[in-house]
Chains A and B, each alone.
Chain A
């Protein structure tokens, strides 16, 4: 367990500030902030995998590219890296649209089953991830990048939290809400959801499946890159670091259930809260174990994920 000082619950005074690291509020807030970070990592992949049905292993590299975009913008202008969203998001959207049209569409056309498409897309995007890493190493070098933007405290209930994480959490909430509303309240969103449920049936009701999938894939890439911009404010990254984000995103998407954005959001926050609780109450060394135990339990009880549909 942690320390004697933290042994008594609620408020224990230490130094000048009242601090109770075991206080539930603290765990909840840190956990929510981390959950917001995770949601940013995973939402793009959910759109690409859940709707466009492309298991994009280059997802993490797109996130890193977004982070580099923000870093480059920040270095050049010294203005808030958030402004870089204005060009990073459209660029990522266009790039991912192009990737889908050029690289993925031939795979979709020739694949006879969903399983075949997944294998093909895994291999194709896997190669793509190396291509991206190579380009980023050439452009930005392989070193660590860290520019700690807004790395200053903000007080919530008397406790200190990183302003950059709070800002990124806010952006994450806005992004989640916007995506959810768009998917569930608009006609285009409806079409996307139809494709997600059954691509061939969607085609029968005059939805252009290829276009809808390209839109979902491009949107997923844009969301991922936006996540990269926000994460770059407080995470140390390098050109090869993308695979870490891809794996985390993959766990969250599978945990939440493929094809439902609500599942991804819930899973991201559950994971953030669980990891923080374990780190604070038990041992920071067990956070990774906790994440995988949670992942395993969910898969045992609900193989389709928290919000996933059972395959008929």
Chain B
């Protein structure tokens, strides 16, 4: 199968390359290269979280005349590259953006492993790497090795801890018992979250009554849910990816899984998930505090990109681009190092509030959200002083 996969990716690159190159234009614009999956397993996530914020941002910057540089205003031109969900293709695309298309800026690529894989390429060509879709506990060591690497995100442990803290609060206030069933997808982030979660559950006084992984691309989650259900847990936690987030929820709904708290990680913040019957009061990674500005962001996002923004990455992606625009305009040139030096140690006003990146890593994120009446409210976070999180509700029904 490996060889076939390889053939598939190579053939596709050959076909796609001319079209990507055709997107070049003359100077007088600020060219931003956006590398991510347009096809392959990561494409659905990238189509929601990765590409649209750049489109919305460029649309809005251009609507006000472009980026104000010292030598006049420049319109933003987005050049998108498909990495076919293959790291070597992502590296090639970054190379192409840097050397062939001579982009003024190249955005961080889509998903953690791909950002790590392309980090040497960014560094080689002298491009700072401002990433959003990069969640890992290795952040501090990565930024030490790559001074141009920035994470507009937090660590895996922050997300695991956020979720477990929410459950601990419910337990300590007597709303749920101490038995938790935890499952995870047998892939990067799922395994990392599960590993981070195990000691944290113990520390929080939880008994893990079911702890299993399942392979990526499982077609029926009924056995997983039935087995977890048989262990009589008070809370169910799935360190999951989008397809299994949906699949587990469907199986849990059919089984009417009797838990008072139900958490699933990646994909819970997609609006499509919120629209699935039975998703009310489900907890998941991400969440945002409900404000008129945020509501307006979702509305604009839908109008401009025709895509429903998610409740985890999208607002932060957009905020990251606000930081970028403010830095470019403050520097007033296309000097990438100067731009990076500008946002390295400053506070910025953004959609998600005042943010900064001390140690090249974002200082605040929402870690847990909960679906309540069609909105994925933040119920926990890190670094937001005095933030008014929504009260957590117990999962009482699957209808």
Contact = CB atoms under 8 A, between A and B. Distances in A.
B246 A2 contact: no
B272 A144 contact: yes
Contacts of A144: 44, 48, 242-243, 246, 267, 270, 272
Contacts of A113: none
A283 B212 contact: yes
A247 B276 CA distance: 28
B253 A151 contact: yes
Interface in B195-222: 209-210, 212-215, 217-220, 222
A280 B272 CA distance: 29
Contact of B258 (A15, A129, A141, A162): A15
B295 interface: no
A12, A129, A234, A240, most chain B CB atoms within 10 A:
A240
Interface string B356-394: 000000000000000000000000000000000000000
A3 B231 contact: yes
Contact of B213 (A15, A235, A284): A284
B220 A276 contact: yes
A34 B267 contact: no
Interface residues of B, number: 58
Contacts of A129: 8
Contacts of B183: 284
A151 B223 CA distance: 16
B230 interface: yes
Contacts of A74: none
B213 A285 contact: yes
Given A161-B222, A244-B217, A279-B214, A21 B230 contact: yes
A236 B38 contact: no
Contacts of A2: 210, 227, 230-231
Interface in A119-168: 126-127, 129-130, 133, 137, 141-146, 148, 151-153, 160-163, 165
Given A2-B227, A19-B230, A287-B215, A146 B220 contact: no
B65 interface: no
A146 B276 contact: yes
Contacts of B227: 2-3, 6, 21, 279-280, 284
Contacts of B278: 151
B251 interface: yes
Contact of B232 (A14, A151, A239): A14
A15 B230 CA distance: 9
8 contacts: A33-B222, A142-B38, A142-B43, A146-B272, A148-B246, A151-B277, A153-B256, A283-B212
A127 B11 contact: yes
Interface in B28-51: 38-41, 43-44, 46-48
Contacts of B1: 247
A165 B222 CA distance: 11
Given A133-B39, A144-B44, A279-B223, A126 B242 contact: no
A292 to B, nearest CB: 10
A15 B96 CA distance: 60
Interface string A247-273: 110000000000000000000000000
B250 A234 contact: yes
Nearest to A22: B230
A47 interface: no
A276 B218 CA distance: 11
Contacts of A161: 222, 254
B44 A37 contact: no
A141 B305 CA distance: 11
A14 B276 CA distance: 28
